[in-house]
Amino acid sequence: MRPLLSVRDLQTNLLKPASFSLSAGECIVIRGPSGGGKTLLLRAIADLDPNEGEVRLDGRDRATMSGPEWRRLVGYLPAEPGWWADTVGEHFTDWTAALAVARELGFPTDATDWPIARLSTGERLRLALVRTLMVGPKVLLLDEPTASLDPASARAVETLIAAGVRAGLAVLWVTHDVQQAERVAVRRLVVSGGQVQEELSECPAISS
Amino acid sequence: MSSYIELSYWHLAATSVFVFIDAALSVLFGLRVHRSLLFAAIRMVVQLALVGVVLTTLFSVISPLWTGLAALVMVLFAGHEAAQRQERRLSGWWSYGLGTGCMMMSSVVATVFALLIALQPNPWYDPRYAIPLLGMILGNCMTGVGLGLNTLTTSLVSRRPGVEAQLMLGASRQVATAPVTRDALRSALMPVINSMAATGVVSLPGMMTGQILGGVPPVEAVKYQILVMFLIAGGTGLGAVTAVLGGVYRLTDARHRLRLDRLSAPKAS
């Protein structure tokens, strides 16, 4: 099967050349020490920092697309999402459409009027996830999306992502939570000291 | 000649007593500004005396070359001042070049417009008109460009998460930086708007007062002042818009990334 996202020799001034690929409907967990380069890797894939190397989506070279076009297909959710207006609704082009997803994460209809300044960290993370999903990406880059969520909310997020993965979404998921890593993914990447390596499981399968 | 009272050097020296009073107050209250106060006063006297000599020479030769050269020196100084006022500077030549280039373009456009269309001196580059006009436009343009660029760079740094959030969702760099760009332009234009609104009520502009003291009828002086205000508004607007848009262009790239790595570290203050 041809991979959906293929990364070859992706590097920045801090990140050593990284190569891996991700299929449609697959979730890979990324782990590694803080400051090891996990966020840098996601930012480089989303083309938010200057980088070199070849990244392809569905066989199409990233260099043939504009930055905005690429980022609509490869959605990145940072650990601390940013906001540019005062209320929740102003960050969505179509709140009515977004509501279907927002409800699953526990937001009521009138959340559109909520001021951003009063949102908790967890609410911000979940709303930013909704915002990212509404763009309709084929690949999702998640940077600790459940780090500051209570267990119930974290479950809701996992369920939502899992539904997306079943529908063909490819996900790179940064997490420190070992149990979560086991729940959501089979393959793992370890990023440490700017080096990206695939972590082999204890009893590697010989067949391929 | 017109009916103005010539100042004697003795009278000037007598008035400088006010500066010494300020200095004495500084010593009395331990403000520790007397040194810089006196130094600034001396600097002002020396600079203005030199300008007096330079202008006398310029006015007597009426040469396009020397007028142009004087204008260039003024623009370069203004560019240096505007760059000095930046908390965070653009890296490399952009720091000095962007502001200076935009100020040169906008203040020259406004000055030449005034000379060719409104005042029409003969010859049009007569330094007696060109140099004071350029000076007034440039002074205000410098404030506008300096404020605009400073607001742009500091808010791009402080509002980086919001700008990048829009980029992550597939917005173009123009859309993602629009809120910051608007703020930068607003702060660049605010001093001009305020000074136009307050002129005549709160403040009597120096140029107009100067003309009246020089014996020009008030209505004529007012007409000149209005002309100058329009030119200042135009020059500042044009300079600020080009400088801020140039700054946005430099601090983003063709892949629509935010490039704050092209800013220097904040100035220690």
pLDDT at A190: 94
Contact B257 A47 (CB under 8 A): yes
> For residue A200, what pLDDT band results from cuts at 50, 70 and 90?
confident
For B66-108, the pLDDT digits (tens) are 999 999 999 999 999 999 888 899 998 999 999 999 999 999 9
Contact B165 A47 (CB under 8 A): no
pLDDT at A206: 46
Tell me if chain A has a CB within 8 Å of the CB of B182: no
ipTM of the complex in this document: 0.92
For A96-110, the pLDDT digits (tens) are 999 999 999 999 999
Contact B193, B240 (CB under 8 A): no
- Beta strands A18-22 and A5-11, pairing class: antiparallel
Alpha carbon distance B91, B141 (integer Å): 22
The domain locations on chain B are: 1-61, 63-262
Of B168, B259, B261, the CB nearest to A46: B168
Mutate which: B157, B253, B255, vs A, most A CBs within 10 A: B255
| pTM, 2 dp | 0.88
Domain A5-199: what homologous superfamily? P-loop containing nucleotide triphosphate hydrolases (3.40.50.300)
Task: Tell me: pLDDT of A182 over 50.
Answer: yes
Buried-state track B14-43, b at ≥16 Cβ within 10 A, e below 16: eeeeebeeebeebeeeeeeebeebeeebee
> How does DSSP classify residue A5?
E
- Helix, strand or coil for residue A204? coil
Task: Tell me: pLDDT of A208 over 70.
Answer: no
Mutate which: A12, A84, A121, A133, vs B, most B CBs within 10 A: A84
3-state helix/strand/coil string of B163-215: HHHHHHCCCCHHHHHHHHHHHHHHHHHHHHHHHHHHECCCECCHHHHHHHHCC
pLDDT at A204: 46
Of B165, B170, B253, the CB nearest to A72: B170
pLDDT at B266: 82
- Helix, strand or coil for residue A145? coil
Q: Computed from CA positions of residues A27, A32, A33, A34, in that sequence, does the dihedral angle turn out positive or negative?
A: negative
pLDDT at B3: 72
> For residue B116, what pLDDT band results from cuts at 50, 70 and 90?
very high
The domain locations on chain A are: 5-199
> For residue B2, what pLDDT band results from cuts at 50, 70 and 90?
low
In A, which residues are within 8 Å of B156 by CB distance?
none
Contact B169 A48 (CB under 8 A): no
Of B163, B168, B253, the CB nearest to A76: B168
For A58-85, the pLDDT digits (tens) are 999 999 999 999 999 999 999 999 999 9
C-alpha distance from A76 to closest chain B C-alpha (Å): 6
C-alpha distance from A202 to closest chain B C-alpha (Å): 36
